[in-house]
């Protein structure tokens, strides 16, 4: 090979080598750049929002029982409530307390609220102020003697009340939003269906702890309402919490 051809051959080899080096360098830079960009994007990417699992809010509802204490069914009702760990409010008739004093004590001891339902189940609006006060105060005194605590709430029979009477008695009248009419039907299915059809948050359910059918209905009502997220409370919790 002549000197001139040798020089040309060497120059060609060097050129090829240079192009290869440049190509490798460019490719390496491209890959490095892509990797760096990926890292940069991951670093800059905002963290995904973490959704906090919110516990569903419970809906308050109150079971109330009028006309007790009953010598048989009030205790059965207490057993149901105790088994289900459900508090309730019992509006007692003064005339029914005699002979059932231990049941009254048991109602209080098991954490239920006791209210006043007059002494003789009379319509308050048909009485003078003095007569109405006597009917209510007589029952309150009996309850306080047995439980050591006076009553703060009154459920007027038939839902009628003389406006302003509460100031004389220092009691709060409590009505209802769902009347089960359990005393007329004495039918378990009818009572349950009526409650479940009409139940809503902050409802006050009126029943009577004087019937076996009501005891049986309450068992089912508690199960069904718990399944729908209801929390059972006493009247004081309903009105002031």
Active site residues per annotation: 66, 208
CA distance 67 to 86: 20
The 8-class DSSP code of residue 159 comes to: G
C-alpha closest to that of 90 among 160, 33, 132, 139: 139
CA distance 235 to 195: 18
Which SS3 state, helix, strand or coil, does residue 232 take? strand
Which SS3 state, helix, strand or coil, does residue 66 take? strand
CA distance 226 to 102: 30
**Cα 61 to the center of its chain, rounded Å:** 7
User: Tokens representing 106?
Assistant: 């048991």
Name beta bridge partners: 31: none
């Amino acid at each position: 090979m002549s000197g001139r051809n040798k020089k040309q051959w060497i120059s060609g080899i060097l050129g090829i080598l240079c192009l290869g080096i440049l190509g490798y360098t460019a490719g390496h830079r491209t890959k490095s750049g892509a990797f760096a960009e990926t890292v940069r994007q991951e670093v800059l990417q905002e963290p995904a929002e973490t959704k906090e699992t919110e516990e569903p809010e419970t809906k308050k509802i109150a079971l109330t029982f009028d006309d007790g204490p009953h010598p048989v069914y009030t205790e059965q009702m207490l057993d149901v409530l105790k088994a289900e760990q459900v508090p309730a409010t019992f509006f007692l008739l003064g005339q029914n307390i005699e002979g059932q004093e231990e049941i009254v004590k048991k109602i209080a001891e098991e954490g239920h609220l006791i209210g006043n339902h007059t002494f003789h189940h009379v319509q308050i609006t048909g009485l003078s102020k003095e007569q109405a006060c006597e009917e209510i105060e007589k029952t309150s005194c009996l309850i306080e003697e047995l439980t050591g605590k006076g009553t703060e709430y009154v459920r007027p029979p038939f839902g009628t009340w003389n406006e302003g009477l509460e100031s004389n008695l220092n009691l709060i009248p409590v009505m209802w939003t769902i009347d089960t009419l359990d005393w007329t039907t004495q039918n378990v299915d009818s009572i349950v269906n009526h409650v479940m059809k009409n139940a809503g948050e902050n409802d006050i359910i009126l029943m009577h702890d004087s019937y076996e059918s009501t005891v049986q209905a309450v068992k089912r009502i508690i199960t069904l309402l718990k399944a729908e997220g209801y929390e059972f409370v006493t009247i004081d919790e309903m009105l002031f919490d």
